[in-house]
Amino acid sequence: MIIWINGSFGVGKTTIAEGLKCKIENSIIYDPEKIGEFLFNIMPEKEEDFQDYELWRILNLEFLKNLSKSYATIIVPMTITKQKYYDEIVGNLRNNNIKVKDFILIATKYKIIERLDNRKNTTDWTFNEVDRCIKTFEKNFKGHKIDTNNDNINEIVSKILDLVIN
């Protein structure tokens, strides 16, 4: 099974992924950004967002398909705001009979900015993307929405675990 944790930059995806990994036996966290960073360094044509590289989507799909053969649970904390890109990866995983549980962590702009301010290595680009992310996830983007404004990490992890088990 793959647990995909989507949401705005700064909403807490990685923190929640780490909490889930501690609770789920034989699980790993897979970070698709690593492939994006690699592509930024080698691709001759530069994209503003590495997700715009078709190769990024293809490679992540293939990595996840192969990892799912070795791990019972793969936790993917990754912001994807383009439904087409999400479907290219997650839809194809499902077409390969891999179970995917989708979650979208949400929070107010104020709370997200506060979290980004407290995070190391936050870029201006990240701050500039917050409004777009919030607007995207207010729509009918696929995934079970989990409000992270007032709950602590353990409460959010428990909510996700309850939904994964059921």
73, 100, 127: which is the final residue of a domain? 100
**What average pLDDT score do residues 133-151 get?**
89
Q: Assess whether 89 and 129 both reside in one domain.
A: no
Domain extent for 32: 20-100
The answer to whether residue 43 is domain-embedded is yes
Q: Assess whether 95 and 109 both reside in one domain.
A: no
The answer to whether residue 123 is domain-embedded is yes
How far apart are alpha carbons 80 and 91 in whole angstroms?
Answer: 13
Burial of residue 154, with CB atoms counted within 10 A of its CB: 0-12 exposed, 13-18 middle, 19 or more buried = exposed
Q: Which is it for the CA torsion 77, 42, 123, 57, positive or negative?
A: negative
- Residues 6 or more apart whose CB falls under 8 angstroms from that of 58 comprise none
pLDDT in tens, 21-79: 999 999 999 999 999 999 988 987 877 889 999 999 999 999 999 999 999 999 999 99
- The SS3 of residue 73 is strand
How far apart are alpha carbons 124 and 114 in whole angstroms?
Answer: 14
For position 122, what pLDDT does the model report?
A: 84
Total count of domains within the chain: 2
For position 124, what pLDDT does the model report?
A: 87
The answer to whether residue 7 is domain-embedded is no
Q: Assess whether 109 and 160 both reside in one domain.
A: yes
For position 123, what pLDDT does the model report?
A: 84
The answer to whether residue 24 is domain-embedded is yes
Q: Assess whether 74 and 111 both reside in one domain.
A: no
How far apart are alpha carbons 157 and 77 in whole angstroms?
Answer: 13
The answer to whether residue 11 is domain-embedded is no
Number of H helices, E strands in the chain: 8, 5
CATH assignment of the domain containing 28: 3.40.50.300
The answer to whether residue 52 is domain-embedded is yes
Model-wide pTM > 0.85: yes
Q: Assess whether 91 and 107 both reside in one domain.
A: no
Q: Assess whether 81 and 142 both reside in one domain.
A: no
pLDDT in tens, 100-141: 999 999 999 999 999 999 888 788 888 999 999 999 998 877
